[in-house]
Amino acid sequence: MKRILVTGGAGFIGSNFVRLLLKERPEYHVTNLDKLTYAGNLSTIEDLNSYTQYRFVQGDIADHVLVQSIFSEGVDAVINFAAESHVDRSIEDPGVFIRSNIQGVHTLLEAARTHHTQRFVQISTDEVYGELGKEGLFTEQTPISPSSPYSSSKASGDLLVQAWNHTYGMHTNITRCSNNYGPYQFPEKLIPVIISKALKDEPLPIYGDGSNIRDWIHVFDHNYAVLSVLEKGTSGRVYNIGSSNEKDNLTLVKLLLDILGKPHSLITFVKDRLGHDWRYAIDSSRIQNELGWTPRYSFEEGIQHTVQWYLENQVWWKSLLEKQ
């Protein structure tokens, strides 16, 4: 397994995964396919061009001709990070989510099947499970019950992957991860939004009363888990990935303000999002027991590292905000 196709590798999680591969698996030849939508841009991956075993291809995973041409050159494994991922945008315009997260997955699966690709890893989300009450954790046996156009489109892509495994015998895996944070996250998600607005002393919009709970994981930990699934995952398996770091949104925002030395008075409560799931939490015991993966970052260490990165890389995220 030497020729690796990473889709969505100019985005937040995908770009960090490509860096991991290039640094820790120099024997792999990596093709990065990304459409370069608003959330994927060349400034995020400009440092990768120095690697001789790396190439970038701009394109859409739903483009049948392009995808087939890439696979015809030889692809041993594909890791599909490419997706429309922002829930608010999915509520405003579900159509683009259908194209990327369903039609795009179908295009990749068919290319992988016809070209006998050895492994297919679908990067999904814990949001396909719906929401939890005060108790319990999502396991791989939790029935999917998506609440938004985004999570519904991701669940649909997952079902396609499972069908190609069952029907055609393809070696596939699905990973479902909790909320990621870390370097290069596009400044529309909660943590970079809070950092960028707090630095300008702007009001910080918090949905509802801020009681919604998420399970947070550093993107580096997530990507090590994905690498473990790529290299050691049992065919047909779903693997949940999480760090057992549950935080309600209000507590998280207050922590960020304390790190930045900004007053809590910047917090402003706004009308809640449509269909807003209350709580997510992951049971990651399967991947820990079967593949030996464990998270390396404590939340306290990871969030400090993340804030420092955004402070040191303001040119990067400010340039993205200017394009909005």
Residue 304: both structure tokens together: 């400090």
Token pair listed for 116 = 């006998």
Neighbours of 212 (CB within 10 A): 21
Contact by Cβ (8 Å): 256, 195: yes
Alpha helices in 115-184 (DSSP H): 149-168
Cβ-contact 104, 61 below 8 angstroms: yes
Task: Find residue 78's DSSP bridge partners.
Answer: 5, 120
* Residue 14, φ and ψ in degrees, nearest 5: -60, -40
Q: 226 and 284 in contact (C-beta within 8 Å)?
A: no
Q: Give the integer Cα–Cα distance in Å for 11 and 29.
A: 19
3-class secondary-structure state, position 117: coil
Distance CA 98, CA 82 (A): 13
Who contacts 228 (Cβ-Cβ below 8 Å, separation ≥6)? 287, 291, 292, 293
Reported as type and span, the H/E element at residue 119 is strand 119-125
Catalytic residue IDs? 126-127, 150
> Which residue shows structure tokens 């049992």?
234
